[in-house]
Structure 1
């Protein structure tokens, strides 16, 4: 529980400075498909609502169902992964993801849509933490951050590439075709998962110890993980809480069209991809130099504050768009560093810790959106609340980094 880094589970003879990306093809494909579905539903809401004859607000309850189910069940399913192995929860989650997309594709009413979205959230809650834990414990230590960053980049590519592809399919063959494509793509990934995720993975060999509730909350008992989870909550209150109102801010400032906002979404995805890859690479270089304290963690918080400020207050559209890119480079880098921390600080809690990262992310998003909405006009409150929370997150991240360094010295 107090080790500063995990022992690499890479096969003997595997290069320390590189890793075999094809070895992770199955989980990388799954991350891309998860990212696609996460971002796909919102732009399809008007079409879906018209098809099943409900309001857009009612159709949006499917999005709420996905988020709530993931946030509530991810820690429990992460614990199952830590106790009984990655393969079981990963394959079960993947199969359920196939069924949930089939369910969405054949939904004829709101109840069916909401149920299918809830099942998709449950599927992602089972498979997601297991994926991150699998990457963290099998990638060579020297490139662990790069491997996690690539996985996060592919998740972000769901927005950058998967959503336009899904939109094209929906326009050509109806919205249901996008969910059929997700179901087929996920089913095709199952044989790869069965080949690439071993049945005798390290988690399955770890004896179960302690009660379920105690194990579920064990991460909060570790001082470093507890601080990291609190910082994660505050960071995403600024990051995704402010993102909720990004369209409002840009429309009020520059009177952008819906099409222009779609292009801003491309910048969001591109920034996230770049930040994820950059965060992984820079983190690996820092660890190679003996700095295992994630020294860039507070930097991402400071960059987030700068990005929000430039977006909401910067002079002119070009500066605002540069702010959007800075904002989401910081977001991608921060998430990669946090996944690296979850995968190394407490090896026996990898999946549970990763699941808590997602749950606190959603909690932070809700708190941030509430704070910005309660403060007053969103265009005015977004830069104030978002920047202040980002600065607080940067200060908290500095404490996390200091705690990691002290633990390294003590160990």
Structure 2
């Protein structure tokens, strides 16, 4: 069973590395393709847009298919699309290949979360879920910086490396992972999309997901242009930006590790409220810091807080209705990527038109304030019983 745990960790590590890779490479790619700062963020947004749109259907549809087949198909598509990114010869071809990679990721990542309960012993499910989730945090700590260092040779090298590594991983999965047959009957598959109805009709669910959207919009907008800002503010080359990214990933990894402890000590609502209030202040203050070490420390704290509150929020969302947790996870993934897509677009406009990174910090702070207010007013962070209808 340990081999499956390692496979799931590596899948999420590859997807996470590819998801975040564009941010530190953005200044290099902007110069390479000769595009303005205001639209450069779409090289990141194209990926998240593809993932957001197709996540809404990938999860429910795959419930009627062999999950091993879906996982392999998605990972192979992800591999090919990522390799093609290294051959992009224009801004628009890069956006197209990133969009295709996002679509493939939308079919791959949900299969990890759905496959773990199907093939792991009950006593190992929670542990395996945690290890798989840590693959995303580890991708920020190590995958993205390594990609940035590889880009010092040529900007295309990290795309080729991730794509080839993903292809090799798919081969290992082909020979290792067993078939995972669908658990639903044939006549049930046509009504799978109806699982979204309890969420649409629940006031608590609507409030929770809107707050989740605002949370990711604030954080995603700030992250999309942090590499560009560091390059402009401190004249950092891409390799040094990658080094700074190590500390951001380590903060996220640390936060994920202590999240359960913080939730136990403070409670869900207090832990999230305290964390988001501190985030609000840090996002507003950070653009005005004059030293790179100071910025690095502040962003390390930001990522630590995010690592603490995201698992708590996700736990609250998935407890809304225990019978449709797969659908909730797919919707949460779509919400996250949709917010990051909007954030990449907003970041370009704010950075160019409204005062640089300081305007992004203010925008992020406003989003977090609205998110916190919505979380608290919706009751999704409380101890109420799960909803299955109108809240």
The TM tier, using the shorter chain, reads 0.7 to 0.9
Residue 388 of structure 1: aligned partner? 366
How many angstroms apart in 2 are the aligned matches of 1:124 and 1:148? 18
**1:34-87: per-residue Cα shift (whole Å, max 9, x none)?**
122122234445666777xx4245886543332221121111112113343533
- Equivalent residue number for residue 80 of structure 2: 99
Residue 353 in 1 paired to residue 296 in 2? no
- Deviation, structure 1 residue 29: 0.5
Unpaired stretches in structure 1, ≥5 consecutive residues = 1-19
Residues 314 and 320, structure 1, Cα contact 8 Å, conserved in 2: yes
Q: Which aligned pairs between 1:244-255 and structure 2 lie closer than 5 A?
A: 244=224, 246=226, 255=233
Distance 1:242 1:119, change over 3 A: closer
Aligned to 2:210: 230
- Pick aligned residue for 1:81 from 62, 72, 75: 62
- Distance in 2 separating the partners of 1:379 and 1:50: 19
Alpha-carbon distance change, 226 to 209 in structure 1, aligned in 2, over 3 angstroms: farther
Distance 1:113 1:317, change over 3 A: closer
Q: Deviation at 1:178?
A: 2.8
Q: 1:282 aligns with which of 261, 264, 271?
A: 261
Query: How many angstroms apart in 2 are the aligned matches of 1:112 and 1:149?
Result: 36
Task: Pick one of 133, 145, 162 that aligns with 1:164.
Answer: 145
CA contact (8 A) 1:79 1:349 kept: no
User: CA offset at residue 93 of structure 1?
Assistant: 0.8
Deviations 1:128-164 (A, max 9, x none): 2222333467777888666444433322332332233
Query: How far off is 1:94 after superposition?
Result: 0.9
**More displaced 10-residue stretch of structure 1: 190-199 or 98-107:** 190-199
- The aligned residue for residue 55 of structure 1 is 34
| 296, 302, 305: which one aligns with 2:280 | 305
Q: 2:4 maps to which residue?
A: 23
1:316/1:111 CA distance change after superposition, 3 Å:
closer
Do the aligned partners of residues 107 and 134 (structure 1) sit closer, same or farther apart at CA in structure 2, a change above 3 Å counting? same
Which residue of the partner structure matches residue 200 of structure 2?
220
Change (3 A) 1:60 1:249: closer
| Cα distance in 2 between the residues matched to 1:408 and 1:71 | 25
The count of aligned residue pairs is: 380
2:350 alignment counterpart? 373
The normalised TM-score by structure 1 is 0.74
Give the distance between the partners of 2:70 and 2:250, measured in 1 at CA. Answer: 30
Equivalent of 1:336 in 306, 311, 315: 311
| Counterpart for residue 48 of structure 2 | 67
Residue ranges of structure 2 left out of the alignment (5+ in a row): none
Separation (CA, whole Å) in 2 of partners of 1:383 and 1:158: 24
Q: Which moved more, 1:162-171 or 1:121-130?
A: 162-171
